């Protein structure tokens, strides 16, 4: 797990009006690494993720992704890269959302090929072939022509993961991928994410599934109050927490 | 009765149908223009373009607050004073499309606003431009929501286009009144006019319903629709 980081973040900050949501977040992700962001609700985990792909525009800090500067400070003035650079970056770090956000007017297969065909301009026939393979990969080959409204939550999330994979991503962002699922559907999605981790995919996962994080993470960041309070290996974070806030958080989730 | 079917109808129906054709042309052209105006205004207002969106808001307010007939008369009789002389037909198209456009902009605005922001996020997150997100993700879904209302407006437009008879356009109603002026058979002629309006509106309503079904994913369609289609294919 060495090599140049695919993603490097320095001093990332986000303010909504007068409210500071993020307060200087530093983060490095190396290729093949699985990074977990954990922490209390409202602590800023999801905002970090949404700033990385500019669904939210940060208000300060630097982000470099895959050799491209997405934003930086120039003499104290925050500057974001051109929209075309941001779009290009987004297409290489797709996001899997808590509420799936499948295109409701398109079938599972159409959802998966939308990015390759429309954004990456790959030949439709090739995209369809690859899309079917991906749906098979996530165990939904026979659901290719179903609309999102005909799928269970777990199936929808697996289609959403296939949609992300279809972008041939360098990094996948997971924003609480199992939080909206019925308890009995959580494991099918977690199993899939685990398989992707084992394939050596680079991912950042915001999750409340602590046992899952402990087993899977290369690195865990505990985010609270808009900053990274503590970082480390899963063992260090879960078995030997240093800060009082993390200790309290771990206690609270273990009941 | 015999006279109605064997004298009045053969004699006057063709002239009324000529008028009905103009009514259809007026309505279809105005509707097409109104959709463009309405969508444009809705997008400008949703994007909160400075100045322009204020102007659009003012347009919607003014055009919804003045009776259609007054708008038509203003366009036809006062624009010539400032050097814009439009033939009655085009004055009618302009008046109708500006009027319906104001209403449609609100229909589109509501439909677009009703699409979950997660759809936008999903489009952006795979690298789509904002324009592509609208074209591929938001508008197709918003249109499906707007369509029944749009259809309703088209059907009222078919009927409201009769107001254009006031600015000397030989559409269905005016042709009817011309016949009445010559024959004094107001009851029979108005009856024929009414029947023709009914048939056009009824057909339009069925067409809208059919298009609506076509745009609905198969699994959400009532079984009857597919059954009917299967019978037609058989």
Same domain, A180 and A89: yes
Distance CA B106, CA B111 (A): 8
**Is the ipTM, as predicted for this complex, more than 0.90?**
yes
A149 shares contact with chain B (CB less than 8 Å):
yes
Mean pLDDT of the region A112-135:
96
| Alpha-carbon distance B96 to nearest alpha carbon in chain A (angstroms) | 32
A76 shares contact with chain B (CB less than 8 Å):
no
Q: In what order do the strands lie in the sheet with A227-232?
A: A95-96, A172-175, A203-206, A34-38, A219-224, A227-232
For B142, name the nearest residue in chain A, comparing CA atoms only: A105
Cβ neighbour number for residue A164 with a 10 Å cutoff: 27
Q: What is the pLDDT at residue A3?
A: 72
A124 shares contact with chain B (CB less than 8 Å):
no
pLDDT in tens, A21-32: 999 999 999 999
| Alpha-carbon distance A54 to nearest alpha carbon in chain B (angstroms) | 9
Taking an 8 Å cut-off on Cβ atoms, the answer to whether A104 and B119 are in contact is yes
Same domain, A1 and A88: yes
Taking an 8 Å cut-off on Cβ atoms, the answer to whether A114 and B136 are in contact is yes
Q: What is the pLDDT at residue B224?
A: 58
Q: What is the pLDDT at residue B227?
A: 57
Distance CA A96, CA A110 (A): 17
Mean pLDDT of the region A85-95:
96
Query: Who among A101, A115, A163 is closest to B119 (CB)?
Result: A101
Percentage of residues in chain B with pLDDT exceeding 90? Answer: 66
Percentage of residues in chain A with pLDDT exceeding 70? Answer: 99
Distance CA A38, CA A21 (A): 16
pLDDT in tens, B125-184: 999 999 999 999 999 999 989 999 999 999 999 999 999 988 888 889 999 999 999 888
Q: What is the pLDDT at residue B226?
A: 58
Taking an 8 Å cut-off on Cβ atoms, the answer to whether B118 and A83 are in contact is no
Instruction: Band the pLDDT of A1: cuts 50, 70, 90.
Output: very low
pTM of the model: 0.86
Number of structural domains, chain B? 1
Closest CA to A203 of A89, A41, A95, A99: A95
**Cα distances (angstroms) measured from residue B104 to each of A123, B8, B26, B60, B137:** 37, 40, 17, 9, 20
Using DSSP's 3-state secondary structure scheme, residue B217 falls into: coil
Taking an 8 Å cut-off on Cβ atoms, the answer to whether B127 and A105 are in contact is no
Same domain, A239 and A201: yes
Domain that holds residue A107: 103-168
Same domain, A118 and A205: no
Q: What is the pLDDT at residue B228?
A: 55
Percentage of residues in chain A with pLDDT exceeding 90? Answer: 86
Same domain, A1 and A80: yes
Mean pLDDT score across all residues of chain B: 89
Q: What is the pLDDT at residue B234?
A: 47
**Cα distances (angstroms) measured from residue B3 to each of A54, A177, B178, B185:** 76, 76, 20, 12
HSE at residue A55, side-chain half, CA atoms within 13 A, is 25
Torsion sign, CA atoms B50, B52, B58, B64: negative
Q: Which residues of A touch B132 (CB under 8 A)?
A: 118-119
Size of interface A-B (CB pairs under 8 A): 70
Phi, psi of B130 (to 5 degrees): -60, -40
**Which domain CATH number covers B77?**
1.10.3720.10
Closest CA to A5 of A55, A52, A54, A57: A52
In chain B, which residues touch A (CB < 8 A)? 116, 118-119, 121-129, 132, 136-137, 140-141, 144, 217, 219-220
Same domain, A9 and A78: yes
pLDDT in tens, B110-133: 999 999 999 999 999 999 999 999
Which CB contacts under 8 angstroms, 24+ apart, belong to A141-148?
Answer: A143/A108, A144/A107, A144/A108, A144/A109, A145/A107, A145/A108, A145/A109, A146/A107, A146/A108, A146/B219, A147/A104, A147/A105, A147/A106, A147/A107, A147/A108, A147/B217, A147/B219, A147/B220, A148/A100, A148/A102, A148/A103, A148/A104, A148/A108, A148/A111
Closest CA to A176 of A46, A66, A13: A46
Q: Which residues of A touch B116 (CB under 8 A)?
A: 101
pLDDT of B233 higher than 90 = no
pLDDT of B229 higher than 80 = no
Domain closes at, from A115, A137, A168: A168
Same domain, A63 and A181: yes
| Alpha-carbon distance A245 to nearest alpha carbon in chain B (angstroms) | 32
pLDDT of B219 higher than 80 = no
Same domain, A115 and A159: yes
Same domain, A217 and A247: yes
For A118, name the nearest residue in chain B, comparing CA atoms only: B128
pLDDT in tens, B33-86: 999 999 999 999 999 999 999 999 999 999 999 999 999 999 999 988 888 888
Q: Which residues of B touch A104 (CB under 8 A)?
A: 119, 141
A104 shares contact with chain B (CB less than 8 Å):
yes
| Alpha-carbon distance B144 to nearest alpha carbon in chain A (angstroms) | 9
pLDDT of B222 higher than 90 = no
pLDDT in tens, A195-216: 999 999 999 999 988 889 998 9
Enumerate residues 6+ apart whose C-beta is below 8 A from A53: A89, A90, A93, A95, A173, B124, B125
Distance CA B96, CA B157 (A): 8
pLDDT of A53 higher than 90 = yes
Domain closes at, from A168, A193, A224: A168
For A105, name the nearest residue in chain B, comparing CA atoms only: B141
Q: What is the pLDDT at residue A27?
A: 94
Taking an 8 Å cut-off on Cβ atoms, the answer to whether A55 and B219 are in contact is no
Domain that holds residue B177: 2-233
Cβ neighbour number for residue B206 with a 10 Å cutoff: 10
Torsion sign, CA atoms A182, A184, A188, A193: positive
Q: Does the residue A98 lie in any domain?
A: no
Closest CA to A100 of A144, A157, A53, A164: A157
Taking an 8 Å cut-off on Cβ atoms, the answer to whether A95 and B144 are in contact is no
| Alpha-carbon distance A101 to nearest alpha carbon in chain B (angstroms) | 5
């Amino acid at each position: 797990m060495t090599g140049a980081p695919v993603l490097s973040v320095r001093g990332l900050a986000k303010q909504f009006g007068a409210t500071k949501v993020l307060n200087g977040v530093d983060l490095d992700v190396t290729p093949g690494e699985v990074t977990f962001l954990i922490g209390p609700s409202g602590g800023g985990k999801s905002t970090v993720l949404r700033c990385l792909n500019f669904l939210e525009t940060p208000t300060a800090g630097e982000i470099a992704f895959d050799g491209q500067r997405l934003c930086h400070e120039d003499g104290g003035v925050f500057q974001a890269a051109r929209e075309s650079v941001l779009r290009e970056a987004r297409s290489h770090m797709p996001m899997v959302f808590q509420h799936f956000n499948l295109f409701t007017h398109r079938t599972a297969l159409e959802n998966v090929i939308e990015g390759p065909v429309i954004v990456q301009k790959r030949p439709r026939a090739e995209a369809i072939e690859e899309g079917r393979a991906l749906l098979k990969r996530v165990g939904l080959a026979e659901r290719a022509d179903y609309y999102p409204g005909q799928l269970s939550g777990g199936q929808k999330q697996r289609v959403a993961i296939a949609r992300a994979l279809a972008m041939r991503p360098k990094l996948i962002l997971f924003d609480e991928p199992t939080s909206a699922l019925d308890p009995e559907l959580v494991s099918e999605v977690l199993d899939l994410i685990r398989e992707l981790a084992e394939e050596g995919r680079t991912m950042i996962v915001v999750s409340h599934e602590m046992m899952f994080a402990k087993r899977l993470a290369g690195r865990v960041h505990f985010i609270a109050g808009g900053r990274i309070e503590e970082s480390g290996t899963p063992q260090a974070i879960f078995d030997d927490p240093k800060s009082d806030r993390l200790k309290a958080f771990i206690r609270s989730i273990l009941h | 009765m015999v006279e109605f079917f064997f004298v009045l109808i053969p004699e006057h129906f063709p002239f009324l149908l000529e008028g009905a054709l103009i009514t259809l042309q007026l309505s279809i052209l105005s509707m097409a223009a109104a959709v463009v105006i309405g969508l444009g205004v809705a997008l400008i207002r949703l994007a909160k373009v400075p100045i322009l969106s204020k102007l659009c808001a003012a347009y919607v307010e003014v055009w919804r607050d003045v009776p259609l007939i007054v708008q038509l008369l203003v366009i036809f009789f006062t624009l010539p004073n400032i050097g814009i002389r439009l033939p009655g037909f085009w004055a009618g198209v302009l008046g109708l499309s500006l009027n319906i456009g104001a209403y449609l902009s609100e229909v589109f605005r509501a439909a677009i606003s009703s699409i979950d922001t997660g759809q936008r996020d999903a489009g952006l997150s795979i690298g789509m431009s904002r324009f592509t997100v609208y074209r591929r993700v938001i508008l197709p879904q918003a249109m499906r929501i707007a369509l029944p209302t749009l259809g309703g407006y088209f059907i009222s437009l078919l009927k409201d286009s009769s107001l254009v008879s006031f600015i000397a356009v030989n559409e269905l109603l005016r042709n009817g009144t011309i016949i009445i002026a010559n024959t004094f058979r107001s009851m029979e002629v108005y009856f024929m006019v009414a029947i023709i309006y009914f048939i056009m509106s009824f057909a339009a309503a069925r067409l809208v319903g059919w298009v609506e079904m076509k745009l609905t994913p198969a699994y959400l369609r009532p079984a009857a629709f597919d059954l009917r289609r299967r019978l037609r294919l058989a």
